[in-house]
């Protein structure tokens, strides 16, 4: 390198402004306008989907109510089924006891027949009639027998009547158990269908919304990139190279570097270069401009002065917590890039991307110093 050329280069490094030999080409105003139109178009598409999603949520609320009612109906049928099963078991127990008593009465009646007719020949008319309800209802016969012997036949008649009643009761309990089981099965199927419908009702819309959100974020990132390149080109063309030693310029550099990581996957506890978590991305971005941060939102929150949200500059860190305005609940950090947007590594299954900073869990902002 010639002494003259070396001297010019040294002068460039020592002064704040040094004009370039040739300005690098950058995106045109039309390119930026086209990118912004694409953002607006994607925003409109997303708005339409969100409107349909809101209507779907209303339907989902109705489905949730229906599903809840049907689930509780099924729970009720299960209770009724359990009661019906218990009633059937109780009826069978009573029937068994009645049949035992009836058999004892029959044996006693057979013994009586043996006493009356000597040997209880089953072919004798009396013995055969003992086993028929018709005979037991003939008062004249009972009157002929009389006394204790008549009471034996009365007990047999009564035990047969009780057994018949309990047999019918057991049959009714069995039918009720079967009906309850069928109602419970039908209620279960209805509940399952309602829950399944509830779960799938907005699945397609949610998928469409997520796709459009991704496209919108990509469009915003592209528009931001084009605007940034154009601004840098115009700045170099009009004013020359500006020293980047100031605090705001360091924030610009940190933000620009973070934007260069778009699309890289979120991985828990990762800090680059191929993947990041939220505080890993912001740590590496500020590391590029000589500011050391811990890989933890807790100390990143205290890494510099807190900045009012109406005074944000590019590169400032935005913090999000479970309880708004409570730093003790901070669980996420992103980096402000301008126009209400931030670049961040959101969560497992997502990638580094641009998103709105305006979330309900926004706690505050910090401008790292070091």
For residue range 139-181, list pLDDT tens digits in order.
455 545 556 666 766 777 777 788 788 888 878 888 887 887 8
Does pLDDT of 94 surpass 60?
A: yes
Q: Between 129 and 89, name the one with better pLDDT.
A: 89
Q: Between 64 and 310, name the one with better pLDDT.
A: 310
pLDDT, tens digit, 9 for 90 and up, residues 287-318: 999 999 999 988 899 999 999 999 999 999 99
Alpha carbon of residue 302 to chain centroid: 34
Does pLDDT of 214 surpass 90?
A: no
pLDDT of residue 139: 43
Does pLDDT of 233 surpass 70?
A: no
Coil/strand/helix, residue 325? coil
Average pLDDT value for residue range 19-25: 42
pLDDT of residue 88: 82
Contact 266, 344 (CB under 8 A): no
Q: Which of 54-63, 68-77, 79-88, 273-282 has the lowest mean pLDDT?
A: 68-77
pLDDT of residue 24: 42
* Rounded Cα gap, residues 302 and 369, in angstroms: 10
Point out which residues pair with 341 in neighbouring strands.
338, 356
Which among 103-107, 127-131, 302-306 has the top mean pLDDT?
302-306
Measure the CA dihedral 333/337/338/341, to 10°.
Answer: -50
* Rounded Cα gap, residues 54 and 42, in angstroms: 18
Does pLDDT of 325 surpass 80?
A: no
């Amino acid at each position: 390198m010639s002494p003259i050329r070396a001297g010019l280069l040294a002068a460039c490094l020592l002064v704040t402004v040094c004009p370039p030999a040739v300005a690098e080409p950058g995106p045109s105003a039309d390119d930026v306008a086209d990118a912004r139109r694409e953002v607006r178009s994607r925003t409109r598409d997303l708005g339409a989907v969100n409107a349909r999603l809101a209507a779907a949520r209303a339907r989902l609320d109705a489905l949730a109510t229906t599903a809840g009612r049907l689930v509780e109906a099924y729970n009720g049928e299960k209770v009724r089924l359990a009661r019906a099963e218990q009633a059937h078991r109780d009826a069978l127990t009573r029937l068994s006891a009645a049949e035992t008593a009836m058999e004892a009465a029959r044996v006693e009646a057979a013994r009586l027949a043996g006493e009356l007719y000597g040997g209880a020949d089953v072919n004798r008319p009396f013995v055969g009639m003992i086993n028929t309800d018709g005979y037991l209802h003939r008062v004249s016969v009972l009157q002929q027998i009389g006394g204790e012997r008549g009471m034996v036949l009365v007990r047999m008649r009564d035990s047969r009547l009780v057994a018949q009643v309990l047999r019918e009761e057991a049959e009714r309990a069995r039918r009720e158990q079967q009906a309850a089981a069928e109602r419970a099965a039908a209620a279960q199927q209805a509940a399952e269908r309602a829950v399944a419908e509830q779960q799938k009702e907005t699945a397609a819309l949610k998928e469409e919304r997520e796709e459009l959100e991704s496209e919108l974020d990509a469009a915003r990132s592209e528009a931001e990139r084009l605007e940034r390149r154009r601004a840098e080109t115009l700045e170099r063309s009009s004013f020359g190279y500006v020293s980047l030693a100031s605090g705001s310029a360091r924030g610009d550099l940190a933000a620009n570097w973070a934007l260069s990581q778009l699309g890289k996957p979120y991985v828990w506890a990762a800090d680059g270069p191929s993947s990041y978590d939220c505080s890993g991305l912001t740590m590496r971005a500020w590391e590029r401009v000589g500011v050391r941060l811990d890989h933890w939102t807790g100390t990143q929150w205290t890494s510099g002065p807190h900045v009012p949200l109406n005074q944000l500059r590019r590169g400032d860190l935005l913090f999000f917590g479970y309880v708004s305005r409570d730093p003790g609940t901070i669980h996420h950090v992103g980096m402000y890039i301008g126009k209400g947007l931030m670049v961040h590594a959101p969560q497992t299954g997502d990638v580094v991307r641009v998103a709105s900073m305006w979330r309900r869990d926004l706690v505050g902002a910090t401008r790292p110093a070091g």
